[in-house]
Amino acid sequence: MRKIQYEELIQIASEEKLVNLSDVETVVNDLICGLDSEDEEFGDVDYLNSPRKKLRDISRLFNNSDLQILGTADDYHNVAVSYARQNIFDCACMILQCGLQRIPFSIDMLADLIRYGISSGQYHLCDEPYLTLSQISKSRWNWRAFSFSIDYLIEKINHIETDEEQYKLKHQALVLADQFIEKEKSDQAYFKKANILSVFYGEGEEELTEGDVLQIGLEQVRVAPKCALRLADIMFDKGEYQKSIENLQKCCINTFNPQPDINSSYAFLLLALSKASKIFSENQEGNNPEFEALVHSMYKDFHTAIRNGLNDTFSRTANTAIKVIEAQTGYEYPYTDAAVDDPYDF
């Protein structure tokens, strides 16, 4: 079956004043595949013919009030998500605004506009969809509505001045988080409540801390990688490395999820660093099989993290740690990884 091309999509929109969102999604996803071949780092791009410009051209179709657009709320949502995944948030917002003019009470589109409005720095776009969502029964809300509305309330703290208003925002956010947990005892629900307590720490007398909520999430949800990873971060910062390791072992299994909820590369890096920190903080050393196995366990975690894809900063962290461990233990790193060069290694 022949797929529609960019030029054909634009021509149909221009001549027939008609566009089908399923065709838009097809063309957009094909153009996104072409983004990987752009050599933007060195500025060697023919922008007039580049996939990124064509994506922006397509998004402008949604500003044409004379254009008939065929599709469902899910279609608008899917196209907007494709743009957002490429960090083209302003275009995602444009598409969602168009969709909401036609389908004004779509939960996903309202929630998406809040999230992408924040991400694009167009905070003014968030107010109306949040107010509209607030008028809809929570029984219709999904995880996006709860999660992105909480993001909106947390972000709003940067736009107000008084302590009283901040306290009201915190209260609203916590009410939403509790409703989220009541509706679905999920990893995301507990993670969001913990996030609120982290941002508003010390604002009033709370019975629970961020760590308490994360721990409750781990007890209530069978698989809770977001809670486990965040709690591991907290334990690592406190120097409680064994607890960090235990939580990371719970969340690294999320790697095998078709749509992972966490950055598994970072999880394995933190696991390796936690093991290394535990060894050196406890002054463990020696040329014995148990110690050697522990060192190679760390190396395997570093290797997994690097192979799964670390950004340059984390790659340098891994490389530096590996060199220190080699020097301190005498055991060489057994893998050949395509890691970034250390800029300080002349």
- CA 196 from chain centre, in angstroms, equals 17
Fill in the DSSP letter of residue 65.
Answer: T
CA–CA gap between residue 227 and residue 214 (Å, rounded): 5
The residue whose two tokens read 């301190």 is: 328
Q: Which residues of the chain have pLDDT under 70?
A: 1, 36-47, 201-206, 255, 285-286, 338-346
CA–CA gap between residue 214 and residue 251 (Å, rounded): 13
Helices marked H in 63-186? 73-84, 89-102, 107-119, 127-134, 143-156, 163-183
Closest C-alpha among 224, 248, 250, 240 to residue 277: 240
Partners of 69 in the beta sheet? 19
CA–CA gap between residue 114 and residue 107 (Å, rounded): 11
Closest C-alpha among 217, 212, 206, 135 to residue 180: 217
SS3 106: coil
- Look up residue 102 and give its two tokens: 């036609």
User: Is residue 247 left, alpha or beta, with left meaning phi > 0 and alpha meaning psi from -120 to 50?
Assistant: alpha
Output the pTM of the full model.
0.87
Helices marked H in the chain? 6-16, 21-35, 51-60, 73-84, 89-102, 107-119, 127-134, 143-156, 163-183, 187-199, 210-220, 225-238, 241-251, 264-281, 289-308, 312-329
The CB-based long-range contact list for 329-333 (8 Å cut-off, 24+ gap) reads 329/285, 329/291, 329/295, 330/287, 331/292, 331/295, 331/296, 331/299, 333/299, 333/302
Fill in the DSSP letter of residue 343.
Answer: T
Encode pLDDT of 255-301 as tens digits: 677 777 899 999 999 999 999 999 988 877 667 788 889 999 999 99
Beta carbons within 10 angstroms of residue 31's beta carbon: 20
Q: What are phi and psi of 39, to 5 degrees?
A: -95, 60
